[in-house]
Structure 1
């Protein structure tokens, strides 16, 4: 049961691996795009923790969490890796280290 962040430009799926694209155009894309990666990561973390559990983002995170808990290895695909980015925040949310806003 692992969660790996992969670079969409260099990583090749060897077949049968679960891949979740989290970049531009996906429900889990980072709405913040200007600034250093660390700042963007922190902004996304703040954004995510202010969303309710019934938001599209948290619904998808919970779906990924269920897969992860059943033993599926997850690959989060973005264009930032190996730099830390919002994919790391998503990984933390899947593992329960980051939680949605309570109503």
Structure 2
């Protein structure tokens, strides 16, 4: 069971693959869009950690974590890959490396 970041412009999913779009317009989009990728990634990490566990973002992450723990491979789809981006922070959240602030 793996979690991979995929580029929405070049990757084609195969039948029955789980795909979660995390780009612009999705609940997991990065609200920070200006600056270098590392800065944007760091800003998203801080943003995500500061959100309540009841936020739509963390609720979706919990759903993705359950899907992943049930043995499903996850494909996170954005336009940044192969560059590191906020998708890597989402993976950290799904795998429990980061969590929301305590309510």
Q: TM-score range by the shorter chain?
A: over 0.9
- The separation in 2 between residues aligned to 1:40 and 1:59, in whole angstroms, is 22
CA distance in 2, matches of 1:15, 1:84: 26
Distance in 2 separating the partners of 1:52 and 1:14: 35
SS of the residue 2:87 aligns to:
helix
| Structure 1 partner of 2:59 | 59
Once the two structures are superposed, the pairs formed by residues 1-103 of structure 1 within 5 Å of their partners are 1-103=1-103
Question: Following superposition, which runs of at least 4 residues in structure 1 exceed 2 angstroms of deviation?
Answer: none
Q: CA RMSD in A?
A: 0.4
How does the TM-score come out when normalised to structure 1? Answer: 0.99
In structure 2, stretches of 5+ residues that fail to align are none
TM-score, normalised to structure 2, is 0.99
User: Distance between the aligned counterparts of 1:72 and 1:79, measured in 2?
Assistant: 22
Unaligned runs of 5+ in 1: none
Tell me the matched-pair count. 103
